[in-house]
Amino acid sequence: MGEIFVNGEARRVDGPLPLLRLLEEMEIGVRWVLVERNGEPVPRERYGETVLDPGDHLEIATPMGGG
């Protein structure tokens, strides 16, 4: 068990967690999301194979509507 940090907030995990599963749990569609893991961008085509470990720091950005 441990924690990952998503946009500065701690999130408890039970072990290694696939990035794609985290995005699904957070109800974030992969089409318009940008993810940075430990300061490095994660290519969208690698979301399914990227496994998050306790202690990882993520920045997740999605577009916002407005005008």
Assess if residue 66 is contained within a domain: no
Q: How many domains does the chain have?
A: 1
Residue 53 domain boundaries:
2-61
**For residue range 1-20, what is the model confidence (pLDDT) as tens digits?**
799 999 999 999 988 899 99
Assess if residue 30 is contained within a domain: yes
Assess if residue 34 is contained within a domain: yes
Work out the angle at residue 56's Cα, subtended by the Cα atoms of residues 52 and 59, and round it to the nearest 5 degrees: 95
Please tell me the predicted confidence (pLDDT) of residue 26.
92
Assess if residue 33 is contained within a domain: yes
Assess if residue 47 is contained within a domain: yes
67 band by pLDDT with thresholds 50, 70 and 90: low
Assess if residue 67 is contained within a domain: no
CATH number at residue 40: 3.10.20.30
**For residue range 9-63, what is the model confidence (pLDDT) as tens digits?**
999 998 889 999 999 999 998 888 999 999 999 999 999 999 999 999 999 998 8
Assess if residue 53 is contained within a domain: yes
Torsion of CA 45, 52, 41, 62, to 10 degrees: 80
